[in-house]
Structures are given as structure tokens and as C-alpha cells.
Amino acid sequence: MDNDARSLKQTRRWVLIADKVADKVITVGGIGVIVAVLGMLVFLIFEVLPLFHGGTVDFAKSYTLPTSSSRTMALSMDEYLTMGAALRQDGSIALWHAKSGAALQPLMMDLGGKKITAFSSTLDNSGFAVGFEDGSVQFGRLKFSADIIEEADVPEAAEKLNDAQRTDGTAIYTTIPGRRVRKVSAAIELDEPVTVSDAGKPIIALDYHLSTFGERPKRTFVTVDADGVAQVSLAESKLNLMTGASKTTLSKVNLPPIPGNTPITKALVNDAGEEAFFVDANSTVHRFNLRASDNPVLAESVRLTPDGVRLTTLGFLTGQRSLVVGGSDGSVSIYFLLRNDKAPSKDGYQLVKTREFEPQTSPVTAFAATTRGKTFATGDESGNVLVRHGTSQATLLRLTTKPVQDAPPLLMFSPRMDGLIDLTANTLNIWGLNIPHPEVSFKTLFGKVWYEGYSEPGYTWQSTGATDEFEPKMSLVPLIFGTVKATVYSLLFAIPIALLSAIYTSEFLPLKVRSKVKPVMEIMASIPSVVLGFVAALVLSPIVETWIAAILLAFFVGPVTLIVMAFLWQLLPPTLAVKFDGVPKFLFMFVVLIFALYLAYRLGPLFEHIFFAGNFTTWVTGAIGGPAPFLFLMNLPVIGLLVSWLFARYYNYRFRTYILARPMPYSALLDLSRWLGLTIITLILSYISAKLMTWAGLDPRKEFMGSYVQRNTLIVGFAMGFAVIPLIYTLAEDALSSVPEHLRSASLGCGATPWQTAKWIILPTAISGVFSAIMIGMGRAVGETMIVVMSAGNTPLIDWNIFNGLRALSANIAVELPEAPKDGSLYRVLFLTGLVLFSMTFVINTIAELVRIHFRKRATQL
Amino acid sequence: MKVDSRITKKEAYLKPDETQATVTADVPLPEETAEGALAERRLETNAAVPTGRDSSVWDFKARGEPFLWGLGGALVFGLLMIVGFVALIVVNGIATFYPVPIEVVKTSDGTLLAGELIRTETFRPTADTLKTLPAEEVARIEASKGLETRRLYRIGNFDLYNEDFKWIPEYKIAETTEPPNMYFVERMEWGPFIGTIKSADLNGTVIEKSELSDERLKQAHREAVTRRQRIRSIERNEIAKVNTLLEQRRLALRRVELRRGAESPEYKTALDAYNKQAALLEIQYQDLSKEAAVVKDQDARYTITLADINGREKTIKFSDVVRFYPANRLTFLDKVDVYLSRWWEFLTWEPREANTEGGVMPAIFGTFVMTVLMAIAVAPFGVMAALYLREYAKQGRMVSLVRICVNNLAGVPSIVYGVFGLGFFAYMVGGSIDSIFYPERLPTPTFGTGGLLWASLTLALLTVPVVIVATEEALAAVPKSLREGSLGCGASKWQTIKYIVLPRAMPGIMTGLILAMARGAGEVAPLMLVGVVKLAPELPIDSIYPFIHLERSFMHLGFHIYDVGFQSRNAEAAKPMVFVTTLLLITLVFLMNIVSIFIRNRLKKRFFAGHF
């Protein structure tokens, strides 16, 4: 442009350059900062997304194993997915390279020529038990050992399998980073056989549970022989330190006869050897209670599948609390053994179907569970294999194999759950699995889940447990509830105080005092929340616990004293009232309130004695005292409001015109007596209603109280109120003060009193600004962390009891994230928690901001 | 309008002269006029009384007195809460270090115990306890409505008693005395010892207390302190330095190995160099540890034997005594001396005994360094973003949307920023830095975990909206005429911003920045995730290259409060420490806020002055 051209001549070059540079830098930097801050949201979402991805198959391979005439009983695999093994009925163990199927030298079990008739193994198939035709049982272990060796120690003759792996026929050598080699080899260990069947009949079903590990393994096992005799036995092995030989002692108990006289197809014994399950050919499940070890009881005989549907698979998930049942109709479901006193069983327990899974398309024939978590896989006759998760009930992966007639597939998870193998006839399929977060789904996060060991479905948060068999419970509902509870109670405390103070400050306080009070409140907003949390938890909570009655009383005594003083103040001659208006009156309010608090402190014990049987914390639990006094207190404010509303509705006009005509002290006295009269009516009505409610059987302690803990929501309410009051106060006061002065002047000029002006002019005009202040305060309360961490007790409960603790979303992050392993399920769920928190506050703040903008426009228009 | 019509209807029966009074009451008139008006009205009222009908000055409903009291009461309650809170912190914080006398309590069953009286409170003894008491005690308790007082004594001597504090109910106390020979001995380990000094072994000569003056003891203690400092200096500074050097050499070697491979000639030369240097350092190390052993050996020959009230003796090294004083013989000046020396210890020492004793110097330092780093990070970016939004961006729908977002982000919970900081800065960015620049240290993370840098950046992110909003407001407050004037004089846009707009807006920007720093200094939740630890013996700045260690974790005053108050062995023992730390933190934060308010007020004045 012309202008530019002219200025170019006059302006020094570097000024222009600086201008250009600043232009670019500020634009890029400014946009960059804003994008970076908003990028936070994107990053959080990016971290959370893998939770909902399910699983992927890294690789899938299929090869044929050397044929064998003998049936395969179980599959096994080492930790690093290098070597596979198949235990066969003839006592041989075929070994092969997992990735290629190249056969290695098989191992042979020395069974003394006996024929295997039954087989059982632990979940990871490392330990097993075999039953023989002569009625004896033998325990054994298939051990994969992985040793790190030097490159030089690898035998020269080792054949190359692939880029990183070699074999010498017995072991597989894998080159690992650091120029070392991992040698994986398999070995078999067998204990001495023990004779179980007294009649010497073949064992037809067998299952065992290993209860102690190490030097003295203790196994509880159940057997059924060909005669249908079921036994529970305890085998204890003692290792002789001198000879190294192990000696097994056996004690056995015959179970009561299994009804029905049909052959048993499957035996199962659960965790700690307390329950045994036998399935007969009619698909009836017979459950024996073995808790009294010398006197086992047949607890129940039930069908777990509908009539006409065969029970085809039965197995435990890790932890042995979830019983997975597969039927010939393709159905897959989980049963829990739950205590139920009304159960039709003999021991007060009952098998209850708690979870139902996506059905297979044909009869379920294969089942495998992992030792890591509650993932399991089922396979059916038509070759479909579904990988599922027990807790989330989600289907994680769908795999297919080629079905072979009359050859039921065998499934097995690798120890680290990174692979699944399937053997159908001689075809072996291996899938590399990548299921990072099997236990998390939308349902487990937000829905009701029936967890192991729970009597009913519910929302539970318990992310970590003591053992590997623990089922993580990651429902966000109790945490969201905790946040809402903390917010609601703290706002119940904060909003009245903050708003009323703001109105008083902006409309009634002399300017001089106002300019002092406001900065004080503003500075309060900057108190670090950790300080509030500390004071609340270590100073306030013991005091509140001791003086709880006095504190509750203060909520009644404070307002009542102020109202009484207000009526007394009306008695003052107008000249004095005008003279003392402003600072003296405000100071007098101080005196009155301090007096009221002192009164509450003195009357506290008496109040506790009359209303709460002398001990509030015990009264809350319902152990002592009745609900009537408390109901009376609860009804007071409600009935008080009702009574004064009714009076105002029907008698106010008459009463006002009447007292307007009276001379001064009398009119004030009349007003006071009106209030006293109404108060007495309120008291009487509250008393009657409380009696009626008690008579109707209403006890608030049952519904929303029931316990008192030291770090409770009341404390959180106080502390959080402390954090939120200054914020709401400052913003609300700003909104009220920014109502244009001419409105105020006009109202006063028209003859309205300051109170009328505040009530009918200022507040309605500023209401949106006040509302936005409340919303911002709410946003702060939702996200407040340290106060809830320190003073809320951190118990994830769903319970409105104000005297109980809570665990908020924010506190949960602060407590659990430092311990959560990176990229684990808990880690990502906690990121999700952060995202939820982010969204909650973002919505609240956006509403507040929009309302505020609206208010600003309106205020400038006026 | 609807609202107005309601008013007029409701207040129709208000007499004009009555409302007049109200208005006068509330709108303050100039002094003399108010006086005059009052006098006039007094006359009016007096005159009006006999007629009866006109005498009621105000309509009570319109006056709303009970409501006014309700509003005022709320404000009063709020103020009382604040005053109470501040008083609680200040009183407890200030009183903590003041020495109190040691009381010796003889209980009714004849046992003796000595301790500082911490506080008394009332409690309700159980019926079972009452049964065991003599009749007159029961009668006394009955007389006070079943309530009994009990005293909490700090009895110290944790190594002997396994408890620091003891509640003694009033009925158990036979008599209390304050014997002059009781000493309060603060030790490096096991907390304080309360008892008498029996004897001292000064380099082999055993001197009984009777022949040992306080001056002599103090002299010996001063010498012991010098030895302790020497040992500490050798162990913490010199030996640590040698170790760090050795570690640096080893890492350098590992680096060469990773880059070039273990077979390469570079590695061979590096290995030779390393071995030589390691040998040299080893010699240095040996020398230092020998020196330390000598001083320690000498130090062990100066001991002091203490005895508790029941005569149980405890001999400790003189250098393990931090401070000792005869608690019941102190003059006021002595007490002030002890008080001040405790404050000095608190402000300049490192914490001891799981942070419940000693000082908070590393926490003060950590808080300071982190806040400064945060300010350095937040100031340019916040100002830049605000400048962009206010001066460069085209004002429209988009910019107001961004503005809403920025405002909103100021309200996003701090813990969310912590989560982001951990995931993004520490794990993602830090992890990448580690694998690129520090592969030799893996798997031990260097930047791949929480640390000073990440904590500062996280807090910078947390406070950037505050700075943006404040700066924008300050920029908006600069009158348009000034800008136009500058541009009209031929200044470029940047010149206008640099010489006209920014200087005018500076106080506002400073306010925002100080507020941001105050918020940053007091924030704890995000720091728990990104690098604050309960004990960091190594300061983030020291004399070892590269001097500022941004990757180190650090201590923070706010987290110190949380940690000491909630994670320590004995909450009662930790409470005084927490109170003092709280006082310190609050003072810091309040000071920053007051400064910012002060600046804001000055800005306002200047702004108004510019208008008139």
C-alpha cells in the first residue's frame, strides 16, 4: 500500500524486522500455548483409549505335530513362548518349538507300565496328577527351566530354528539382548504313586488342589473309581533331607454315595479343598461340602444347564471362586457358591448363576483359564474359540480353528497370557495374544458387576489386592458418588454463608469496612488446600468428634440468637437504631454470634443428653436412644418455613396494618410476640410430626446414617467450605457490586428500604452473576484434592451418611497413581478418572462462564 | 416492569416521611448534615408520639431486620472462621519452639515420670475405671458431672519407653514438682531425652555432674558440634563428591560401550582411562574415610551419661546432642535464646527422624527453586498468549471461544494437571530424553520419572491460564487512546506494545504472575505425582557439575505438611512441626498475595489518575 511504501523510507530497517519478528513470535507462541493447554485433553483421551480396545492377535501359526496313537491329556508351555509340550495318555510328553512346530526329543514318564485312566492338572499345567487303572494316583510336575548362559556355553551342534533361536534337540537357545543366551529346557518330576481305591478299581475322575508349596506340599484331591466310590484324600509329602527322597503320607475319607448311579465324568475340587463337585453323565452336578474334613456332606445335586442341555465343560477361573459352565447349547456362564440361609442345600450355600456370556454357536467342548486375571477361553465343536473375560463379561477375541470330528480341541494359555494354543487332533494352532486391559470395559467401569465373593452385584472400587488371584474391582461409580457427596455437603455449608455474607458486604456494610473485609476474604482464597486438609484432619476432626452435639446445636442456636437479637434491636428507639446502624451494629453482631457459639458450647452436653441419649457417636449407630428427638430437629426448619409462609400468606397484611398503627415500643413488641408465637407453633408441630414419624417407624439412622467415623463428610464439608466460601463470596460480591449504582439510587429514591432494594432490585439483577459464582465454587469443590485426601478417610462407599467417609475421584488419583505401574490397567483407569474430573469441571465452568457473559451483557445494558 | 410493580404494590402503605428516614440512615451524609438531620428527626418523632398513629417509624417488614441479622451473621461467622483459623495456625506455630518447664509427676501408685505438659482435656472415665478409684476421687468426678481432666505429657526418651507421649488422668496424680536439675536434651536420634545429666566422659576423664558446670558442658558441646560438622562435611560433601565423580566416569564408560561396542578400540582406551581414574579416586576415598574414621574415633571418646527420672542411664556421644538446657532454671533471656536457636535450626537444617525433627531447609529450598523455575516458564508464555489474544488475534467468535476455554482451564482441578504431567512430561517426554541422551543409565530413569523440571512445567501449565487472564485484563485496561496515539506518531505495532502498552500493563501482569506463584507454591496434589518426595538429601542445586540438577526429585513445604502430618510414626509428635511448617507456608503465600493486592491497588490508582 501507499502508506507502507512511504513509511518504509522513514522507518529504520530493524524496527520493521523487530515488528515482523514480534508478530510471528507472538502469534506462533500465543497459538502454541493455547494449543498446548488444550492438548492436555487430547493427551488424556489418547492415554485412555487403549482401555477400550480389547485385544489383538500378534501372530497366528498352525502346524501339524507328529502323529501319535495316544490321546493328549494336556498342553503346556514355558514363560517365553519358546517350547510347547503335550502330555499324552501313554505317558509320553511331546515337545516342540512353539513358533515353528519343530519337534524336539520327547520325554517319557516312568509309570511302571500302568495305564492312565484319569488326569488332572493345575491351571498353568505345570503340576498334574494321573489316576491309574489299578486305583492309584501319582503326582508329577512338568518343569520348564530358563537359564541365562553365555554364548560360549551353547553346544556347537545346535541347529538354527530362526534368527534368534537354536536347538540341540533337547533345549532351545534364544539370543537375548546383552549378548547372552537363554536356555529353555523341560524336565519331568514324579512323586511316588499312592493307592486310593480300596477295591483297586480304575480311577475315572480326579482333581486336586495344592494347598502349600515348598518343601512339604499338601494336596487335597478327590477321586471317583469305576465303582462310583468318591473319596477325598489328603496327601502330604515330606522331603527326607538326608536321602532327598520324598515320602508321601495319605489320609482318605469316603464321601457319601453319589445319588443317581450314573457314571461320573468330571471331578473338581475348589480353593482350599473345601468343596468338591462331581458331574455325572446326566449333567447333574453333585456338590460335597468338605469343610468338616472327617465328615463330608453331600450339599446339593443340581443341574446347572437347562433340561435337555448337556453340561459339557466345567472349570474354575484363577482363584477358584468362579465356576465356568459350558453347555451343549453353546451357553457359557459363571456360577458362584454363595451363602444363602434359605438355600435348598444342606450347608447353607448355593450355586448361583451370576454371569452369562455370549454363547458359542455349537456345544462348548474346550475351556482354558489363565493364571493371570480372570481371562478364559472357550472352544466349540465348530472350531470357534472365544477369548473372554470373567469380570467384564466381554468377548475379547474371536479365533477360529478347523474342527475335526470326534476330536475335542484342547486349549491352553501361555503363562504370561501372551499366547493361546489349541490342539485339535494333530493340528496345533498358536496365537500370540496382546490383551493389555482385559478386565476393563464400559460395564465394569460404570455398571453394576457381581464380583467374586459378593452376595449381590454392586459398584465397587478396590483396585489392588494381596494375591494374584484377586479380581480388580474398578467401578468409577463410588468415586463419582464420593465427589458428588463431598461437593454437595460442602456447598450446603458454603453457599448460604458465602452468599449471605456477599449480600451483606455489598449492600449493608459501610464502605470503609467493606474495603477491609474484602481483601481478607480474598487472601483466604489463597490458603493452600494442604493446610486446610491438615487442620481439618488433625485438629478439627478430634474436636468435632468430642463436641459434635455442640456443633450441631450451634447450627440452631446461631440463627435463632441472631433472629432474637434482631427483634430486640427493633425495640430500640429509632433515633438510636439509626445512630448505631453501620459499624456499631456490625460489631454488635460479632458479640451476639460469639455469645451464641459460647451458648452452644455450654449447652452442648445437655443437648446431647436430651436429644442423643448422652452420646452422639453411639446414638448414630442406632444402639441407644430413639429417633424422635432427631426427627424433631430435622422437622424444625421445614415446619418453621411452612408456618411463616402460611402466616405471611393469610395474616401478614392484616397484621402489618395493625401494628403500623401502634406506637413504637408496642409495635416492636407485637412483632416480637408474633415471632415467638410462630416459633411456639413450629415447636409444637415439629414435636407432633416427629412423634408421628417415629410411630410410623421412620428412623433416619437406618436410611442415611448408621455410623460415625472420625474423618467424615462433615469435616470435609467444613474444610472444603473454607476453601470455597472465599471464592463464591468474592465472585458473588463482585456481581452484586457491579449492579449499576443508578438502579440502587432509583430504588432507594422511590422509598424502598435497603433491604427491599437488595431483595427486589439488586439480587434479581445480579442473580446470574451470583449463579456463576456458585458454579465456579462447585467446580473448585469437585476438583479439590488435598482436603479430601487428608480428611475424608478415603473409603469408597456409596452412602449419604454425613458422618461417614468418602473417596473422591481426585483423592483416588492422588492416592493410587504413584503406585500404579505405567501403562497398566489401573494407570489408564486413573487417567480416565482424570478425564472424568476434567470433563465435570469443564462443563460446570463453561456453564458458569456462559452465565457470567450473559450477566455482563445485561449489566452493561442496564 | 414486573419487579417494580410488585414493590409499589407491597410498599404502597409506606409513608413518604418514613422511607425518608431509612434512606437517610443508609446513605451516609456529610457529618454535620447527618447530625442536623438526626436532630430534626428526633424532634419530629417526639412530636409524633402522642398522636399514636404516625409514631411507628418503620414498617418492620420493609426493614427486614431479622434478615439483615441473618446476612450479617453469615459474614460475621465467615470472618470468625477466618480469624479463628489464622489464630490457630499463628498461635500454635509461634508457640511451638518456646521451651516449657519439665514437670515431675508422682502418681498415686508411687511411680515417677517427667515430661513437658502439652495440654489438658476433659474426658469421661468408664464405669469400670470409677470402680477402682477411692471414694473421694469418685465424689470429685461425680461433682463435675462425671467428667475428669487428663494431662498429656511429652515424656521423651523414646529409646527407653517406646512412647513419646503419655496421658495421665487427674486422679492418678499425687503431686507435681519442677525440680531444677531436670534437663531437656535434644538428640540427633530417638527424639528428646528428659532427665538429669549424670556425668560426662571428656576424652577419658569422667566428671560427675556435681563438678560439672553448665558452662563447661556447653563448651564441650560446642567442640563436639565442630567435630560432628567435620564428620558430616567429610561424609556428605567430600566422599559424596568422590562417589559422584566415580559414578560419572562409570557412566561415561558405559556410554562408550553402548555407542561403540565392547570390542571396539575406543572402549579399550576408555576402559584404561577409567581404571586409572577409578584407582585415583579410590585413593582419595580411602584418605577421606581414614580421616573420617580418625575424627569419629576421637568423637566417640566424648560422651555424656544421662539418667531418666527413675535412674535408668543412657550414655550417648556428646556430638549426638543437638541442644540441651535445664528446663526449670531458664531465665527469660535463656528461653528466648533456645527459642531463636530452634527457629534457626528449623529454617537451616535438614530434617531428622522421619521429618518430625530438625529443619525444613531442603523443603524451603525446593519450594523456592520450583516456584522460580515455574515463574520463568510461565511468564513469557502466558504474556505471549495474552498479547496474541488481545493485540494480534482478530477479535471474533473464535477468540472469545478460546477465551472461554482459557478461563475454564483455570478451573480445571490441579490433580488433572498432575496426571497430565506424569503421563506426558515424565513418562513420555522424559522417557524419550532418557533413551536418547542417557541410555547408559537405563533402566534407572533420569528424566523418565518425576523431577524438578517436570514439576515446574506442570505447575507452569496449571498457572498459565491465571497469567493469561490477568495479563489480558491488564492489557485491556490500557486505554485505546494511548495505543492510537503511539501508532499515530509513527511507532510500529511492536514498538507500541513494547514502549506503551506493556509498561502500562506491567503491574497487572506482575499481579497475575505473583498470584500464579502463590498458587504454585501452595499446590501439592499435582506435585505428589510429578516429583516431590518426602526426603531428598540432595538439593537440586549444588557444587557438583552441572550445578542445577533439573532431574532430581525435591522436597516441598506443602508436601512436607502432608507427609509429616499423615505418614509419620506419631501424629502427636509431628503436630508441632506441621504447625510451624504450615505457618511458614501460609506466611509465604499470604505475603505474595498481599504484595499482589498492593500492586493491584496501586495500578488502580494510576489507572484512575490517568483518567482525570
pLDDT digits (tens, 9 = 90+) for A817-856: 988 888 888 999 999 999 999 988 888 888 888 888 888 7
The pLDDT of residue A518: 86
With an 8 Å Cβ cutoff, are A30 and B72 in contact?
no
A663 exposure class (CB count in 10 Å sphere: 0-12, 13-18, 19+): middle
Q: Do A110 and A67 touch, CB atoms closer than 8 A?
A: no
ipTM for the predicted complex comes to: 0.86
Does the pLDDT at position A292 exceed 50? yes
Best of B9, B20, B26, B167 to mutate (most A CBs within 10 Å, chain A)? B26
Name the residue type at position A507. E
The reply to whether residue A590 touches residue B45, judged by beta carbons under 8 angstroms, is no
| The predicted structure's pLDDT at residue B29 | 40
B79 touching chain A per CB within 8 A: yes
pLDDT at B89: 92
- Tens digit of pLDDT for each residue in B384-424? 889 888 888 888 888 888 888 888 888 889 999 999 999 99
How many helices and strands, by DSSP H and E, does chain A display? 22, 34
pLDDT in tens, A405-437: 777 888 888 888 888 988 888 888 899 888 888
Helix (H, G, I), strand (E, B) or coil at A39: helix
> Would an 8 Å CB–CB cutoff place B45 in contact with chain A?
yes
pLDDT of residue A240: 66
| Percentage above 70 pLDDT, chain A | 96
- The CA distance from A643 to B26, in Å, is 32
Higher-pLDDT residue of A403, A756: A756
In this predicted model, what pLDDT tens digit does every residue of B57-68 receive, in sequence order? 567 778 888 899
Q: Which residues contact A413 (CB under 8 A, 6 or more apart)?
A: A368, A369, A370, A371, A375, A377, A419, A420
A573 CB neighbours in chain B (<8 A) are 45
- Count Cβ atoms below 10 Å from residue B610 Cβ, excluding itself: 13
- pLDDT computed for residue B3 by the predictor: 39
Answer yes or no: is pLDDT of B44 > 60: no
For residue B9, pLDDT over 50 is answered with no
Quote the cell numbers at residue B269. 582406551
pLDDT attached to residue A558: 92
CA angle A39, A40, A46 (to 5 degrees): 90
- According to the model, what pLDDT value does residue A9 have? 57
Element housing B105 (H / E) = strand B102-107
pLDDT at residue A478, as a whole number: 92
Mean pLDDT to the nearest integer, A109-134: 82
> Of B22 and B344, which is predicted with more confidence?
B344
A353-376 burial: b if 16+ Cβ within 10 Å, else e? ebbebebbebbbbbbbbbbbbbbb
Q: What cell numbers appear for B424 in the block?
A: 506426558
Q: What average pLDDT does the segment A70-94 reach?
A: 86
**Average pLDDT of the residues of chain B:** 82
Mutate to test the interface with B, among A4, A8, A20, A34 (most CBs of B within 10 A): A34
User: Among the listed ranges A294-303, A356-365, B276-285, which one has the minimum average pLDDT value?
Assistant: A294-303
Q: Do B72 and A589 touch (CB under 8 A)?
A: yes
Is B405 in contact with A38 (Cβ distance < 8 A)?
yes
CA-CA distance, A83 to A161, in Å (whole number)? 12
Q: Is pLDDT above 70 for B27?
A: no
pLDDT over threshold 60, residue A346:
yes
Given a cut of 70, whether residue B1 has pLDDT beyond it is no
Give per-residue pLDDT as tens, B492-523: 888 899 888 988 888 888 888 888 888 888 88
CA distance B382 to B474: 13
Number of A–B residue contacts, CB under 8 Å? 395
B145 touches chain A (CB under 8 A): yes
Select the residue of A499, A517, A526 nearest B518 (Cβ to Cβ).
A526
Span A468-497, pLDDT tens digits: 678 888 899 999 999 999 999 999 999 999
A1 pLDDT exceeds 70?
A: no
A-chain residues near B522 (CB < 8 A)? 526-531
Identify the CA nearest to A835 among candidates A48, A52, A39. Answer: A48
- Taking the CA of residue B472 and the nearest CA in chain A, the distance in Å comes to 12
Report the distance separating Cα B73 and Cα A860, nearest Å.
32
Q: Give the model's confidence band at B31: pLDDT under 50 very low, under 70 low, under 90 confident, else very high.
A: very low
Q: What is the mean pLDDT of residues A10-37?
A: 81
Give the residue-averaged pLDDT of A94-108.
86
Chain B CB within 8 Å of residue A856 CB: no
Chain B contact for A729, CB < 8 A? yes
Nearest residue, CB atoms, A753 vs list B64, B384, B578: B64
Q: Which of A165-179, A372-386, B71-85 has the lowest mean pLDDT?
A: A165-179
CA distance B554 to B544: 16
- When pLDDT is averaged across residues A47-72 and rounded to a whole number, the result is 84
Q: What pLDDT is stored for residue B58 in this prediction?
A: 63
Question: Which pLDDT value is given to residue B36?
Answer: 44
Name residue A204's amino acid: I
Average confidence score pLDDT of chain A: 85
Task: List the single best residue of A26, A674, A819 to mutate versus B (max B Cβ within 10 A).
Answer: A26
Contacts of B318 (CB under 8 A, 6+ apart): B200, B220, B221, B223, B224, B299, B302, B303, B304
Predicted local confidence at residue B10, as pLDDT: 37
Which pTM does this prediction carry?
Answer: 0.86
Strand segments, DSSP code E, in A255-362 are 264-269, 275-280, 284-289, 297-303, 311-316, 323-327, 332-339, 349-357
Which A residues 758-777 touch B at CB under 8 Å?
Answer: 759-761, 764, 776
Mutation for B interface: A526, A730, A750, most B CBs within 10 A: A526
Q: Give pLDDT, residue A214.
A: 58
**The pLDDT of residue B448 is above 50:** yes
- pLDDT computed for residue B201 by the predictor: 86
Distance CA B191, CA B181 (A): 20
**Contact call for A34 and B402, based on CB within 8 A:** yes
Q: B465 vs A574: CB contact, 8 Å cut-off?
A: no
Q: Distances from the Cα of B537 to the Cαs of A383, A532, A593, A632, in angstroms?
A: 62, 28, 49, 59
C-alpha angle A724-A730-A732 in degrees, rounded to nearest 5: 95
> Taking CB atoms and an 8 Å limit, are A531 and B417 in contact across chains?
no
pLDDT score at B91: 93
Each residue of A637-677: pLDDT tens digit? Answer: 899 999 989 988 888 888 888 887 777 778 888 888 888 99
